[in-house]
Amino acid sequence: MDKIIESIISQLSYLVEELTSTSGYTTLFKGGVVLLTACAISIQQVSTMAIPLETSAYELKFKVEHSLNKKFNSIDELECKLNHESYPNCMLSKYKGSLTSSSIDALVSWLELLFWLSYLMIGLSIIGFLFHPHIHKKTTIPESSTKTET
């Protein structure tokens, strides 16, 4: 049991040493910034795909509403009847709407993960920066107070 505790303490000591080292906290900060950049790129990529797709889905929804002379609150409420001429537009509108919503849901999940990891990395880098002088104290050899006179 003592060996396990000693091993855990040794690992934690190593973690603190690495976290508070100059290369440790700068690497964590750089990683956090990279993850935040990946968040921005993800938002841009998904929005360039999702906005035109959602626009197309709503155009089809409006065509179906016009042909059925019936108003629907959302794409999910569309009633696609097989024997009606608007059936292909109705089904395509539902498909595009569900594809857009699933893409947005996936983006939100991905962004939550990236944000938490980047905040964790940047937070640890700040802690490492603040504690660096306390953990890595420079030891100086005191000069001898007694000098020999000649």
Q: What is the DSSP letter of 75?
A: G
Judged on CB neighbours under 10 Å (0-12, 13-18, 19+), 14 is exposed
Asked whether residue 113 is assigned to any structural domain, the reply reads yes
Asked whether residue 137 is assigned to any structural domain, the reply reads no
| 117 and 35 Cβ atoms separated by less than 8 Å | yes
d(CA 35, CA 32): 5
pLDDT tens by residue, 54-76:
888 889 888 888 888 888 888 88
Domains in the chain, number:
1
pLDDT band, very low/low/confident/very high, at 146 (cuts 50, 70, 90): low
Asked whether residue 128 is assigned to any structural domain, the reply reads yes
Asked whether residue 126 is assigned to any structural domain, the reply reads yes
pLDDT tens by residue, 95-119:
988 888 888 888 889 889 999 999 9
Question: How far apart, in Å, are the Cα atoms of 19 and each of 35, 121, 138, 140?
Answer: 19, 10, 17, 23
- Other C-beta atoms lying within 10 Å of the C-beta of residue 79: 11
pLDDT tens by residue, 4-30:
888 888 888 888 888 888 888 899 999
Asked whether residue 4 is assigned to any structural domain, the reply reads no
Which domain does 62 fall in, by range? Answer: 11-132
